[in-house]
Structure 1
Amino acid sequence: MQPIERPVETKPPEARARVADKDLLRETLRDQTERGQTKSDIVLQSVQRLLRRGAITNLSKMLGRMHPADIAKVVTHLSSPKEKREVFELVRGEAKRGQVLSELDGDSIQQVLADLLHSDIAWLLKDLGPDDVAYILGFLPEERGKEILALMKTEDSTEVADILKYPKDTAGGIMTTEFFSLPEDATAQEAIRRLQQATDAEMVFYIYVTDKEDRLVGVLSLRQLLTVPPATTLKNIMTRDVISVTVDMDQEEVARQVASYNLLAIPVVEKDGRLVGIITVDDVVDVIREEATEDMLKMAGAIEEDSVSKSSSVGAAKVRLPWLFTNLVGSLLSGAILWYFRFTIQEVVAIVSFIPVIAAMGGNVGLQSSTLIIRGLATGTVESTDVWTVFFREVKIGLLMGVACGVILTAVGWVWHQGFLGMVVGASLIIAFLVSTSMATIMPIVLKRMGVDPAVAAGPFVTTANDITGITIYLTLATLFLEHLR
Structure 2
Amino acid sequence: MHQTDKLTESRQTESRHRVGDRDLLRDALRDQADRGQTKSDIVLLSVQRLLRRGAITNLAKMLGRMHPADVAKVIVHLSSPKEKREVFELVRGDSKRGQVLSELDTDSITQVLADLLQSDIAWLIKDLGPDDVAYILGVLPEERAKEILSLMRTEDSTEVADILKYPKDTAGGIMTTEFFALSEDATAQDAIRRLQEATDAEMVFYIYVTAKDERLVGVLSLRQLLTVPPSTPLKNIATRDVISVSVDMDQEEVARQVASYNLLAIPVVDKEGILVGIITVDDVVDVIREEATEDMLKMAGAVQEEAVSKSSSLSAAKVRLPWLFTNLVGSLLSGAILWEFRYTIQDVVAIVSFIPVIAAMGGNVGLQSSTLIIRGLATGVVELTDVWSVFVREVKIGLLMGVACGMILSLVGWIWHQGFLGMVVGVSLITAFLVSTSMATFMPIFLKRMGVDPAVAAGPFVTTANDITGITIYLTLATVFMEYLR
- TM-score normalized by the length of structure 2: 0.97
SS at match of 1:208: strand
Distance 1:33 1:463, change over 3 A: same
- Please name the residue that 1:467 is paired with: 467
For 1:82 and 1:485, locate their aligned partners in 2 and report how far apart those are by CA, in whole Å. Answer: 69
Q: Matches of residues 133-212 of structure 1 in structure 2 within 5 Å?
A: 133-212=133-212
- Please name the residue that 1:5 is paired with: none
1:121-144 CA-to-partner distances (Å, cap 9, x unmatched) read: 000000000000000111100100
- Please name the residue that 2:283 is paired with: 283
- Please name the residue that 2:39 is paired with: 39
- Aligned amino acid, residue 177 of structure 1: T
Q: Matches of residues 207-246 of structure 1 in structure 2 within 5 Å?
A: 207-246=207-246
Q: 1:23, CA displacement in angstroms?
A: 2.3
- Aligned amino acid, residue 179 of structure 1: F
For 2:312 and 2:476, locate their aligned partners in 1 and report how far apart those are by CA, in whole Å. Answer: 45
- Aligned amino acid, residue 167 of structure 1: P
Distance 1:14 1:57, change over 3 A: farther
SS at match of 2:419: coil
- Please name the residue that 1:3 is paired with: none
- Please name the residue that 1:479 is paired with: 479
Whether 2:324 is the aligned partner of 1:327: answer no
SS at match of 1:11: helix
- Structure 2: give runs of 5+ residues left out of the alignment: 1-7
- Please name the residue that 2:82 is paired with: 82
- Please name the residue that 2:3 is paired with: none
- Please name the residue that 1:30 is paired with: 30
1:273-305 CA-to-partner distances (Å, cap 9, x unmatched) read: 000000000000000000000000000011123
- Please name the residue that 2:4 is paired with: none
Q: Matches of residues 72-471 of structure 1 in structure 2 within 5 Å?
A: 72-471=72-471
For 1:248 and 1:112, locate their aligned partners in 2 and report how far apart those are by CA, in whole Å. Answer: 31
For 2:19 and 2:158, locate their aligned partners in 1 and report how far apart those are by CA, in whole Å. Answer: 48
1:66-114 CA-to-partner distances (Å, cap 9, x unmatched) read: 0000000000000000000000000000000000000000000000000
Distance 1:18 1:95, change over 3 A: farther
- Aligned amino acid, residue 409 of structure 1: L
Q: 1:21, CA displacement in angstroms?
A: 2.7
Q: 1:455, CA displacement in angstroms?
A: 0.5
For 1:123 and 1:449, locate their aligned partners in 2 and report how far apart those are by CA, in whole Å. Answer: 48
For 2:87 and 2:386, locate their aligned partners in 1 and report how far apart those are by CA, in whole Å. Answer: 52
For 1:64 and 1:465, locate their aligned partners in 2 and report how far apart those are by CA, in whole Å. Answer: 55
Q: 1:11, CA displacement in angstroms?
A: 3.0
- Please name the residue that 2:54 is paired with: 54
Identity of aligned residues (%): 86
- Structure 1: give runs of 5+ residues left out of the alignment: 1-7
Q: 1:307, CA displacement in angstroms?
A: 1.8
Distance 1:12 1:139, change over 3 A: farther
Distance 1:13 1:137, change over 3 A: farther
Greater displacement, 167-176 / 27-36? 27-36
For 1:72 and 1:385, locate their aligned partners in 2 and report how far apart those are by CA, in whole Å. Answer: 43
For 1:60 and 1:10, locate their aligned partners in 2 and report how far apart those are by CA, in whole Å. Answer: 26
For 1:137 and 1:18, locate their aligned partners in 2 and report how far apart those are by CA, in whole Å. Answer: 43
Q: 1:12, CA displacement in angstroms?
A: 6.1
- Aligned amino acid, residue 102 of structure 2: S
Q: 1:15, CA displacement in angstroms?
A: 4.9
Q: 1:13, CA displacement in angstroms?
A: 5.8
For 2:219 and 2:145, locate their aligned partners in 1 and report how far apart those are by CA, in whole Å. Answer: 35
Q: 1:34, CA displacement in angstroms?
A: 1.1
Distance 1:301 1:238, change over 3 A: same
For 2:62 and 2:18, locate their aligned partners in 1 and report how far apart those are by CA, in whole Å. Answer: 12
- Aligned amino acid, residue 112 of structure 2: V
For 2:15 and 2:325, locate their aligned partners in 1 and report how far apart those are by CA, in whole Å. Answer: 64
SS at match of 1:232: coil
- Please name the residue that 1:4 is paired with: none
SS at match of 2:220: strand
For 1:99 and 1:107, locate their aligned partners in 2 and report how far apart those are by CA, in whole Å. Answer: 16
